[in-house]
């Protein structure tokens, strides 16, 4: 598999390219969206390592997810009727801590590294799920779509690099496939139950998002005319 530094570089490049394309094509609405796409590509490049038991990828991913989760809780509170001051103080950090240590603990205990998270359906699930997490920020549909695609591209860059490094020995520049070759860009994992659950989640997200995707597609067609 590719090294940590390689995934960092790829995520930054993917995020930068996606943000630059969106800016040049005038696809985005909010001026900060290209920067958000840059960050999304970077974050997406780490997400396949959510199932890692330790190390930098796991810490970075769940630190970032905790920050985003706490921010979403805060924005949700803003959209509600006035709440007691102690809820304003308590809920956002509690949400962040629940993600960092609660969800993080679950991932460490119940997932295996290079399992379903290193697969094409996982990349699609993350892409389809991203708009749900971002809707609290009240972004335009085109901005939501752009950021979600950036996350998906970052995720895909991680899988592609793992496959390349499993096929090519860059130290000697030799074609030398490893046992892990073919496991990152896969469509299933060894556990049939986990694979079925992944596809059920993907199908549910696609159905829920279908009308929204059609609206974005119609918007894109109007822009291209």
61-118 tens-digit pLDDT:
788 888 888 888 887 777 777 778 777 788 889 999 999 888 888 877 777 666 788 8
**Nearest residue to 64 via CA among 91, 89, 92, 39:** 39
Q: How far apart are CA 88 and CA 57, in angstroms?
A: 31
The pLDDT value recorded for residue 114 is 67
User: Long-range contacts for 56-62 (Cβ within 8 Å, ≥24 apart)?
Assistant: 56/4, 57/4, 57/7, 58/104, 58/107, 58/108, 62/99, 62/100, 62/103, 62/104, 62/107
Kindly state whether residues 34 and 121 are assigned to the same domain: yes
Mean pLDDT by 10 residues, the chain (225 residues): 79 93 86 91 87 71 85 78 78 90 81 78 93 80 92 94 76 58 74 89 92 83 69
Last residue in a domain, options 94, 112, 130: 112
Rounded to 5 degrees, φ, ψ at 63 are -65, -45
**Within-domain flag for 7:** no
Last residue in a domain, options 68, 88, 112: 112
The pLDDT value recorded for residue 185 is 81
Interacting residues of 180 by C-beta distance below 8 A, sequence separation 6+:
1, 114, 162, 166
Q: How far apart are CA 216 and CA 142, in angstroms?
A: 6
pTM summary value:
0.81
Q: Provide the domain limits for residue 220.
A: 12-46+115-224
């Amino acid at each position: 598999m590719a090294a940590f530094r390689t995934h960092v570089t790829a995520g930054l490049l993917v995020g930068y390219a996606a943000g630059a394309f969106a800016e040049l094509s005038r696809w985005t609405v909010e001026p900060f969206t290209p920067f958000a796409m840059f960050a999304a590509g970077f974050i997406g490049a780490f997400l396949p390592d959510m199932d890692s038991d330790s190390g930098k990828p796991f810490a970075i991913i769940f630190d970032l997810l905790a920050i985003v989760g706490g921010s979403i809780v805060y924005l949700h509170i803003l959209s509600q009727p006035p709440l007691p001051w102690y809820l304003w103080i308590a809920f956002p950090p509690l949400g962040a801590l629940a993600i960092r240590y609660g969800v993080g603990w679950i991932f460490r205990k119940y997932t295996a590294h290079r399992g379903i998270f290193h697969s094409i359906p996982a990349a699609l699930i993350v892409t389809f799920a991203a708009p749900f997490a971002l809707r609290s920020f009240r972004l335009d549909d085109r901005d939501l779509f752009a950021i979600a695609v950036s996350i998906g591209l970052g995720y895909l860059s991680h899988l592609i690099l793992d496959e390349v490094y499993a096929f090519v020995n860059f130290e000697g520049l030799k074609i030398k496939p490893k046992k892990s070759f073919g496991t990152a860009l896969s469509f299933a994992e060894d556990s049939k139950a986990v694979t079925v659950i992944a596809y059920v989640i993907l199908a549910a997200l696609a159905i829920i998002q279908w009308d929204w995707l059609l609206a974005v597609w119609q918007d894109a067609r109007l822009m291209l005319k």
